[in-house]
Structure 1
Amino acid sequence: MSAQDDVDDVGEFAALLRALKERTDRSYGALARRLAMNTSTLHRYCAGEAVPVDFAPVERFAALCGATPEERLELHRRWLLAVAARRRPRTASAAEETTPAGEEAGDPDPSPLPRHPWYRRRRVAIGLAAACAVLATLGSLSALPDGRRSAADRARTAGPAASGTTEAKAPDRSSTSPTPSGTPASERPSASATPKRKKRSSPAPSARTTTPPRSGKKPALPLTWSVNSQAWKLGCGHDYVIAKPPRQVPPPPAPQDAGTWAATQGAVHGGETLVELSVQGRTDTAVVLNALRVRVVGRTAPAPGNAYAMDQGCGGAVTPRSFDVDLDKDRPIAHAVAGSDTGVPIPAVRMPYRVSAEDPEVLLVTARTVTCDCRWYLELDWSSQGRKGTVRIDDAGRPFRTSGIKGLPRYMYDTSARQWGPYS
């Protein structure tokens, strides 16, 4: 079997993996977390750069992507061919690598030299060149008068500073604490230094262009985030507390219009608030999300009014992995909660998480209360490249607000009568 056949077998297996992945709306990072697998490993499988030695992760991947029994059987067949292709010795490619450029594999061997790999020939050539250089240097030294040295020898003795050709190091980009003058102490020239020493210590022009002094400014955060505080459970279930009678409350909005609808009605989240927090890095450098904390800044009696349900009980087969918060406790804590995806368990995964520009993370926080009208926000601890910090996650500068609905009249919308009626 040819090497091309091996490549085709691996490529067909990877192509089927990519086709299954494209059926979902999940990124490689999201799929890898659910498979308890490294993101880069999954990407290498789908790119044809590697083949898993066991079919178990492939089977879990197929189930997560909703593959049919026929597709799983075809995936197993292609996996067997791909594994066999990777295990076969690649004799053809090895012969091509050892054949010198400009010669055919079938040409007669004119001398023993072509039988050596290219890197051995290069090593011999470099050794001969080095020997010639040493002999030339010794010859020039013997030709000089006593007590004098060549310019090259003086340059070697004086070191890089005397020759003036040493390339200056670029400033350390991982440092976040510049000196008061805006220039690192190691880069400021001394008044007593000679011109050559100054030339050595000054930064290279390219480094100065790409990394200008910050003049005391705080370095930019390595991550960014966005918040949706009007998420509904499973996309359809939610309660709002509104201080209006049913006849003055318009019909429930579509989920994407919930924020505008709630603002016009002066609505407060009833019983629970679902916060979708999307976090990603600004570059390819990983940012570690170490902890998520809850801060309650106010507790009063539940807000007066009526509870209006946005659905009649939607249910569903998908329960996403999330964090659950009990606001009625004195010190609420965000607990990781397990979920399920069409019957496939999604284990609760506790922090830390890793994010980057290409691998974002969506955290779903569900905060509940029965006894209070609570105002609260989140704190997210992060670290990256020796830096660390905490960002406040709130509702556009205001605390999130959740009020209990126990004991309040509750209504649902009757679509046939086009009016609110008692919740049954």
Structure 2
Amino acid sequence: MSTYDDVAEFAALLTRLKGRTDRSYGSLARRLGMNTSTLHRYCSGDTVPLDFAPVERFAALCGASPEERVELHRRWILAVAARQRARTPAGPETSAEPETSVEPGRSVEAETSVEPDRSAEAGTSAEACTPDTGDAPAEHAVPDVSAPAGRPAARRPWYRHRRIAVTTAVAGTLLATLGTLGSLSALSTDRSPSEAPSTRSPSPAKVSPAPITWTANSQAWSLGCGHDYVIAKAPDQVPPPPTAQDAAPWAASQHAVHGGDTNVEISVQGRTSTAVVLEALRVRVVGRSDPAEGTAYSMDQGCGGSITPRYFSVDLDKDRPIARSAPGSDAGTPIPAVRFPYRVSAQDPEVLLVTARTVTCDCRWYLELDWSSQGRTGTVRIDDAGRPFRTSGIKGLPRYWYSTREWVLRTD
């Protein structure tokens, strides 16, 4: 199916759902906490949301049935894959570091290899996001991975991003498409990253390959519309800001560096139906220097809304940065923070959002995700297509935003 058809079918289903209500785009947008123009672009096929959460809320507001929500999720995945496929030819790098390139044809699935402890690297710091040992509500508890096969799974809330397929056909379609996203998107990690040794107490030997796969999108914007880049160019040499979905090629073409913060969306999924427990998420800083020189350019395009996703907050200015789990909110309704340990499988993926911030440095960093399954343990390195993520402070830099077809100096 063509790129246009996949996007058009997703937009058509959104439009049909909207048609069931007597509300205008403006009225629906206010209920959803987004701009009217943004909702209209989704329904017209001009753009596809990178996050499914607003789509799911839209479906609920329009009274979609469970079957329709599953179909909407399937079409959303196909539409995102189609948009990525349309701009994949050269697979541009998303960082200004020219010395590293991604080898073609590498798998996104993580592989395990025994290698020296990475903690000896210069400037490296690591700390685990330790499991919460407090009493958690039953609906947030980690399911018993030793439960006999066939036991009904506990009902999970929508905000945990877990999708359970209704039929084998739908499950197969979603998994195949997720694989397509990993291989086609320039934002994904199209390689097999090495796994660092586990830093926990001696346990059963690690094995290869790892039982989980992952992709990382380092070009996620705050609420889908706000972000800063540092670019060493004058305003008249910088093109207009892109849509959030086209951020990767735009940033690569401008040799842009993330300014102030980097938002990384990590999709983690088991290879089989066997449960894999995610034990902890750690941060490793492998380089620090003075903030990058240049000008800060804001991508803000009328951000606003009442949805704050849950995420892991990282302060890169700390000597030992820690990935701290933070709760979110949905129109005033709390969204509990992610609690480790956390279970995933082929039918039970998870999306983790990490927001790393700095004021004082040009930092290079990556993440390590510990896993365990059936007596095996391992650690997956999560990075930016084989290289560290890069975030630079913007304090003191001139800062511009785009207004009336030109970059205008911000005074706030």
> When the two structures are superposed, what TM-score results if normalisation uses the length of structure 1?
0.51
Q: Aligned pair 1:257/2:305, yes or no? A: no
Aligned residue among 387, 394, 398 for 1:398: 387
Provide the rounded CA distance (Å) in 1 between the counterparts of 2:328 and 2:138. 14
Q: 1:20 to 1:34 in 2, by over 3 A?
A: farther
Distance across 1 between alignment mates of 2:142 and 2:366? 31
Q: Which residue of 1 aligns with 2:326?
A: 337
Query: Are 1:346 and 2:394 matched, yes or no?
Result: no
Deviation at 1:23, TM superposition (A): 9.3
Question: Deviation at 1:361?
Answer: 0.5
Please tell me the residue identity of whatever aligns with 2:247.
Answer: A
Hey, what's the Cα distance between the residues in 1 that align with 2:64 and 2:374? Answer: 37
Match of 2:299 in 1: 310
**Match for 1:375 among 341, 364, 378?**
364
Alignment of 1:401-416 (within 5 A): 401-414=390-403, 416=404
Give the share of equivalent positions with the same residue, in percent. 67
Is the partner of 2:236 in helix, strand or coil? Answer: helix
Does the CA contact (< 8 Å) of 1:34 and 1:346 recur in 2?
no
396, 407, 411: which one aligns with 1:420: 407
CA drift at 1:237: 0.2
Alignment partner, residue 139 of structure 2: 36
| Cα deviation, residue 348, structure 1 | 1.5
How far apart in 2 are the matches of 1:38 and 1:392?
A: 26
Aligned residue in 1 for 2:287: 298
1:33-65 per-residue CA deviation (whole Å, 9 max, x = no partner) reads: 999267999xxxxxxx99x9xxxx99x88xx9x
Letter of the structure 1 residue corresponding to residue 213 of structure 2: T
Paired residue type of 2:362: D
CA distance 1:380–1:236, change in 2 (3 Å):
same
Aligned partner of 1:200 in structure 2 is none
Alignment of 1:267 with 2:242, yes or no, is no
Instruction: Please give the per-residue CA displacement for 1:121-169, whole angstroms capped at 9, x wherever unaligned.
Output: xxxxxxxxxxxxxxxxxxxxxxxxxxxxxxxxxxxxxxxxxxxxxxxxx
Q: Distance in 1 between matches of 2:408 and 2:353?
A: 31
- Which residue pairs with 2:201 in the alignment? none
Q: Is the 8 A contact 2:268 2:351 kept in 1?
A: yes
Are 2:351 and 1:362 aligned?
yes
Q: 2:208, 2:67 → 1: CA distance?
A: 41
Q: What amino acid is aligned across from residue 36 of structure 1 in structure 2? A: E
For 2:223 and 2:270, how far apart are their aligned partners in 1?
A: 27
Query: Which residue identity lines up with residue 237 of structure 1 in the other structure?
Result: G
Q: Matches of 1:322 and 1:409 in 2, distance apart?
A: 29
Offset from partner CA, 1:356-405 (integer Å, 9 cap, x none): 00000100000000000000000010000000011110001100000000
Confirm or deny that 1:18 pairs with 2:66.
yes
SS of 1:36's partner is helix
What letter matches 1:352 in structure 2?
P
- 2:352, 2:320 → 1: CA distance? 21
| Distance apart, 1:220 and its partner CA | 1.7
| 1:349 Cα deviation from its structure 2 partner | 2.8
Aligned to 1:210: none
The partner residue of 2:277 within 261, 280, 288 is 288
2:312 is matched with which residue? 323
Query: 1:37–1:399: structure 2 CA closer, same or farther, 3 Å change rule?
Result: closer
Task: Give, in whole Å, the separation in 2 of the partners of 1:386 and 1:308.
Answer: 49
Q: If the length of structure 2 is used for normalisation, what is the TM-score?
A: 0.53
Q: CA deviation at 1:346?
A: 0.5
Give the C-alpha shift of residue 350 in structure 1.
2.1
> Conserved in 1, the CA contact under 8 Å of 2:205 and 2:377?
no
Cα distance change on mapping 1:398 and 1:16 into 2, 3 Å: closer
Instruction: State the AA in 2 paired with 1:382.
Output: W
RMSD: 3.3
Tell me the distance in 1 between the aligned counterparts of 2:251 and 2:304: 23
Match of 1:73 in 2: none
Shift of 1:343: 2.0
Give the SS at the match of 2:139.
coil
What is the CA deviation profile of residues 273-321 of structure 1, one whole-angstrom value per residue up to 9, with x for unaligned ones? 0000000000000000000000000110000000000015502211111
Larger-Rg structure: 1
Give deviations 1:7-38, integer Å, cap 9, x for gaps: xxxxxxxx998369659859xxxxxx999267
Amino acid at match of 1:396: A
